[in-house]
Structure 1
Amino acid sequence: MKKILIPFLLIFVLIISACSKGASSTEGSKNESKKSGTITYQSQNGPVKVPANPKRVVVLSSFAGNVMSLGVNIVGVDSWSKSNPRWAEKLKNVEVVSDDNIEKIIELNPDLIIGLDNVKNLDKLKKIAPTVVYTYGKIDYLTQHIEIGKLLNKEKEAQAWVDDFKARAQKAGEEIKAKIGPNATVSVIEKFDKQLYVYGNNWGRGTEILFQEMKLKMPKKVEENALKPGYFAISLEVLPEFMGDYVIFSKFDQTDTSVEKTGTYKNTPAVKNKHVFEVNGSEFYFNDPDTLDMQLEFFKKQFLGN
């Protein structure tokens, strides 16, 4: 009886071992397939099969910084991203593209296209490569980065950055409020193409950091007019009503000082107290991880001196 039992046990062990190796092999194959094949991304317009490891991405909107921060190669970008001086070296060999120039995009042979939902020629773009579009502002700026992380099969990396950034920004916000006072107001004002704009809390230019993470206050006039739409055009005459105790002044033309030379501007408390911090609009325009990290360090330096 014992002689029969021992061979049976050996056979049983061998079967279990073989099954285990088979399962391990199958799991390994699945993981390898994800690395070299495709994944299904649940976009706002439904499931889309995209490369698990995209290598030639075309970005038709302001998400270039999100893609670059996750270490994914870009072959085509929008003109705004290309003109960002911070990215001059990174995007040196990257072509400028638009949704109007289908032929140019075809030449770049992309394996993934990313854009906003107002993109033109969407049907044509989908025939070139898997195309995913987003509605600007439908989700908050940090969730947007995580979504792009999911799209690029790098959700863990995106989530890790978000968690770290929120902690750093909120800590800096507490320190800034302790220094300037809990009731001090901050405005983000921009001069672009001879027009002045004031911004709410979700339109790039550092607004997300100042008002969402740091929870600094904006002037009442800004809250009433710019918070809901995201931005609001103003005239020089009413500028003082929108100037906070502290002002982030975004300019695209650093040589244009027409506003700064006016008495209307010079007589505001923020100017008199040297509480106006000028920034390059071409750099401050975005709200991707690279830009957000830069904005956060700028705010810490200007408000705290470190």
Structure 2
Amino acid sequence: MKKFLAVATVSLLSLVLLGACGNSKKTTEESDKSSEKATTITVKDSNGSVEVPKNPKKVVVFDNGSLDTIDDLGEGDTVIGAPTKNLPKYLEKYTKVESAGGIKEPDLEKINQLAPDLIIISGRQQDFQDKLSKIAPTIYLAVDAKNTWESTKQNIETLGTIFDKKEIADKKIGELEKEITDVKAKAEKSEEKALVVLVNEGQLSAYGKGSRFGIIHDTFGFKLADENIEASTHGQSVSYEYVLEKNPDVLFVIDRTRAIGGDDTNNNVQENELVKQTNAGKKGKVIFLQPDVWYLSGGGIESTHLMIQDVEKGLK
């Protein structure tokens, strides 16, 4: 009898221990699964507050300024999709990622197949925001033409927060602010006035303060050759006679045709006889800005740096 009780006790104890081990294993597995779940954070985008994953591993990026910021933050490996046919040259290494559609028309089916953790858009894709948000959390990072640098800085800070790279983002912002301070001081000290035009297959549009390319005046401090340019996305349509009338000391030119591809044979602004008569033409200060940076990008760490380098040419 005693022998029977001993065996029964050992068997019962074994069952208890096995059950405990099973529960422990189950608890560990549940803990592992819980830790695998991505944590989310709330950040501000151009529409307000939005909840997004922290440290996303698979990102589709339509905004080239955001793409260059992600690259500068050392998180380029997370980018799995982009509008690869519309990338500026300085981001050409990202042509190797999956094409997520055109810069104005995302490929929703392809993006759904990519199963991203996060999608980043700008104004060109705003009409698709609701549809994209059904695929993955979508953040809208625009640049405010009336407050270019502040909105750019906020976008850099937002991406720094999302990727847990706040210190690096703050350092990059500090470096850019120093560059901006330096170029602005030189521009404000100069008595020269600048005019910014976009040329598209021979047609000109002028841009002033509060406009798409207003950063040249608002942030970089260049004086305006015309104080009354109408602020609009597509600029104020002007003629070469207008350019001569305003007679800028520096003429900044953005060649849209070169940025997107097309016939640019009529875009030789510096060769125009009326432009040659301006102060800018006489002094060799018709400055062609990097078209893919200015027209296809902007609002990022690297693009802001490249823009500063561009406008500095007008101060030499």
What is the TM-score of this pair, normalised by structure 2?
0.71
Aligned to 1:189: 197
Q: 1:46 to 1:281 in 2, by over 3 A?
A: closer
Q: CA deviation at 1:156?
A: 3.3
Contact 1:35 1:52 in 2 (8 A): no
Cα distance, 1:290 vs structure 2: 0.7
Q: Which residue pairs with 1:5 in the alignment?
A: none
- Measured in 2, the distance between the counterparts of 1:44 and 1:276 equals 35
1:118-129 superposed matches below 5 A: 119-129=126-136
Q: Which runs of 5+ in 2 are unaligned?
A: 1-30, 259-263
1:54 corresponds in structure 2 to 56
Asked if 1 retains the 8 angstrom alpha-carbon contact of 2:84 and 2:100, the reply is: yes
Query: Shift in Å at residue 113 of structure 1?
Result: 0.7
The CA distance in 1 between the partners of 2:307 and 2:37, in whole Å, is 34
Instruction: Provide the C-alpha distance between the structure 2 equivalents of 1:214 and 1:291, rounded to a whole number of angstroms.
Output: 14
Per-residue CA deviations over 1:138-164 (Å, capped at 9, x if unaligned) read 863323322333344433332322222
Aligned length: 266
2:99 pairs with 1:95: yes
SS at 1:298 equivalent: helix
- Mapped contact 1:200–1:228 kept (Cα < 8 A): no
Q: Which residue of 1 aligns with 2:72?
A: 69
8 A Cα contact 1:202 1:230, kept in partner: no
Structure-2 separation of matches of 1:213 and 1:35: 42
Which residues in structure 2 correspond to 1:173-188 (within 5 Å)? Answer: 173-178=184-189, 181=190, 183-188=191-196
Give the aligned residue type for 2:61.
V
Aligned-partner Cα distance in 1 for 2:167–2:289: 32
Residues 1:229 and 1:250: Cα distance change in structure 2 (over 3 Å)? closer
Mapped pair 1:247 → 2:251: yes
1:34 & 1:168 partners in 2: Cα distance?
41
Say which of 99, 112, 119 aligns to 2:118: 112
Q: Report the Cα distance in structure 1 between the residues aligned to 2:270 and 2:217, rounded to whole angstroms.
A: 25
User: Any conservation in 1 of the 2:207–2:230 contact (CA below 8 Å)?
Assistant: yes
State the Cα deviation string for residues 259-296 of structure 1 (Å, max 9, x = none).
44432222222101111112231133332211111222
Bigger radius of gyration among the two: 2
CA distance in 1, matches of 2:247, 2:71: 35
Mark the runs of 5 or more structure 1 residues left unpaired by the alignment. Answer: 1-28
Instruction: Determine the structure 2 residue equivalent to 1:146.
Output: 157
Counterpart code for 1:76: G
Deviates more, 1:134-143 or 1:167-176: 134-143
Query: Which of the residues 273, 282, 291 maps onto 1:263?
Result: 273
Cα 1:35–1:297, aligned 2, differ >3 Å: closer, same or farther? farther
Report the CA distance shift for 1:119/1:175 in structure 2 as closer, same or farther (over 3 A): closer
The structure showing larger relative contact order (alpha-carbon pairs under 8 Å, at least 6 residues apart) is 2
Residues 228 and 258 (structure 1), Cα distance of their counterparts in 2 relative to 1, 3 Å cut: closer
2:43 aligned to which of 33, 41, 44: 41
| TM-score (ref. length: structure 1) | 0.73
Q: Structure 2 CA distance, aligned partners of 1:173 and 1:235?
A: 29
Return the alpha-carbon distance in structure 1 between the equivalents of residues 84 and 236 of structure 2.
24
**1:284 counterpart residue number:** 294
CA distance in 1, matches of 2:172, 2:280: 34
Pairing partner for 1:155 from 153, 158, 166: 166
Among 204, 212, 218, the residue aligned to 1:212: 218
Alignment CA distance shift 1:195-1:91 (3 Å): same
